[in-house]
Amino acid sequence: MQLSVAMVWASSRKQLYMTHSQLSHFHAEKGTLKSEFSKVKSRSGMLRMVKDFLYIFQFSIKRSNIKLKVNLLDNFPRKMFIDTERYLEILLHLIVNAIKFARKVNSYIHVIISCEKITDQAKLKQGWIGFVKTEVFDNGVGIEKEKQEKLFYTFKAQQRDMTHGVGIGLSTVRAVAYALGGEVELKSQIGLGTRIMFTTPISSKMLQKMDQTTLKNQLANSNQSPPVVLEEKQHETPLARY
């Protein structure tokens, strides 16, 4: 009985995040997304938030026999403010896709989170500290090169083809990350897996209902690449460098 209740709770929480992310996508595309930055206590607070969130995937992970690992680097500021809801909405889609298209055996998902600091003095004076950089690695089926870019620019679900699709979600990842002034980067190779990286900004103060135009303008040219970067060359297995 307790197990079934926990499964229902996890499923309902996942659906709630999915609904919120679709609303965020809608507003991001319309230019009406409002960001609310809340306090996160350094690395330990970030780790606790992510692990608590990933708990909603525990049954999917066990059912698919996937090994999930989370690592946070030690370069986070002692006090920071991020848009936690939008951050988790983005992470949701990346984990959902990684689980959906995992291998049948020896599957893993590796999440690595770090902080990239801003050096621009004007932006530092405005209260911007840097960006949370999140990388999600998997050794799933991979995405064909010619299909990668369009996945970020369509809200239509791809067919669930184990060699051609990644399901709905990457367009939401792109839209919301870009609305926050962040970026998205994709590296994938058929048969080896996929790495998707996204960044979201870190402030030194609480910000409530900040519109996305102001946010993007303040963070423009802050040592970041274009919003979506597609890796041209082939690469080794996603975790080779770890």
At residue 168 the predicted structure's pLDDT band, cuts being 50, 70 and 90, is low
Identify which of 183, 25, 7, 157 has the alpha carbon closest to the alpha carbon of residue 97: 157
Question: Which is higher by pLDDT, 232 or 207?
Answer: 207
- Arithmetic mean of pLDDT over the chain: 81
At 149, is the pLDDT very low, low, confident or very high (cuts 50, 70, 90)?
confident
- Tell me if 90 sits within 8 A of 198, measured CB to CB: yes
Q: Whose CA is closest to 55, among 90, 102, 7?
A: 7
Averaged pLDDT for residues 179-184: 91
Three-class secondary structure of residue 238 per DSSP: coil
The token pair that represents 20 in the structure block: 């919120």
Q: What does the pLDDT read at residue 2?
A: 57
Task: Name the nearest CA neighbour of 202 among 223, 228, 181, 224.
Answer: 181
Q: What is the pLDDT of residue 54?
A: 92
Q: Is the pLDDT of residue 162 over 80?
A: no
Question: What number does CATH give the domain 2-230?
Answer: 3.30.565.10
The pLDDT value given to residue 119? 84
Residue 222, pLDDT score: 57
> Region 53-75: what's the mean pLDDT?
91
Q: If you average pLDDT over residues 210-220, what whole number do you get?
A: 78
Average pLDDT value for residue range 200-222: 78
